[in-house]
Amino acid sequence: MAILGYMAKALKMDIEEIRELFSEGIQSMRMNYYPPCPQPDRAIGLTPHSDADALTILLQLNETEGLQIRKEGNWVPIKPLPNALVVNIGDIMEIVSNGDYRSIEHRATVNSEEERLSIATFCSSKLDTVIGPAPSLISPNSPAPFRRVPLEMYLKEFFARKLNGKAHLDFMKVYR
Ligand SMILES: O=C(O)CCC(=O)C(=O)O
Ligand SMILES: [Fe+2]
């Protein structure tokens, strides 16, 4: 909530909107185990995707490299730092911020010698909320690029799809 609050402040967004959406929102956790792979060039640990949530807080549990983010078309490795957490922006944040914060596409590669472990905590809004651009950020100069959809439907749609880059966000886009 503290991180989300700072992000809302940076956007000059109505803080009440963030509180309403995210306080006591859904949190889920995934533990990822990537065993060593004899042919790492022919395999992927976790396929490219953006997270569907608002913010992901990720712990890389050991020193094995694997997490990469897509920046200007290139895959950039994110080296694990001891006692550090990675905070990733997810699709809900891109939607709520009216496109000002972009969710980050990422993937995990595998290693021929060493196993790798990570724990991701996904922070979303409350299940009975409707996801859409924050009303305080919509104006004639910045019209809403995304639709409003109940979180439950948004998540059902996400889990029904294969992970594929940022394709899930297309489902939310308004085409003019
Ligand atoms: O293992 C990692 O570093 C990435 C995990 C991840 O992207 C996820 O669980 O959504
Ligand atoms: Fe992820």
- CATH code: domain 2-171 is 2.60.120.330
- Would you say 92 and 149 are in contact if contact means Cβ atoms under 8 Å apart? no
Distance CA 84, CA 125 (A): 25
Distance CA 108, CA 50 (A): 12
Mean pLDDT per 10-residue run, the chain (176 residues)? 93 91 94 96 95 97 96 96 95 95 97 96 94 93 92 92 89 83
What is the value of pTM for the model shown?
0.94
Element (H, E) at 122: strand 116-123
Provide the pLDDT for residue 175. Answer: 76
Distance CA 95, CA 172 (A): 8
Ligand 1 mean position, distance from CA 12 (Å):
30
- Would you say 144 and 67 are in contact if contact means Cβ atoms under 8 Å apart? no
Tell me what percent of the chain is helix, strand and coil, each rounded to the nearest 5.
Answer: 25, 30, 45
Provide the pLDDT for residue 64. Answer: 95
- Would you say 48 and 157 are in contact if contact means Cβ atoms under 8 Å apart? no
Atom 8 of ligand 1, residue of closest alpha carbon: 120
Ligand 2 mean position, distance from CA 139 (Å):
32
User: In this predicted complex, what is the ipTM?
Assistant: 0.98
For residue 50, which ligand has an atom nearest its CA? 2
Q: Are strands 116-123 and 130-131 parallel, antiparallel or unpaired?
A: unpaired
Provide the pLDDT for residue 170. Answer: 87
Provide the pLDDT for residue 2. Answer: 93
Reduce the DSSP state of residue 139 to 3 states and report it.
strand
Distance CA 50, CA 94 (A): 11
Q: Are strands 67-71 and 74-77 parallel, antiparallel or unpaired?
A: antiparallel
Neighbours of 114 (CB within 10 A): 14
Provide the pLDDT for residue 176. Answer: 62
Provide the pLDDT for residue 6. Answer: 94
Candidate of 33, 50, 57, 58 to mutate for ligand 1, largest count of ligand atoms within 8 Å of Cβ: 58
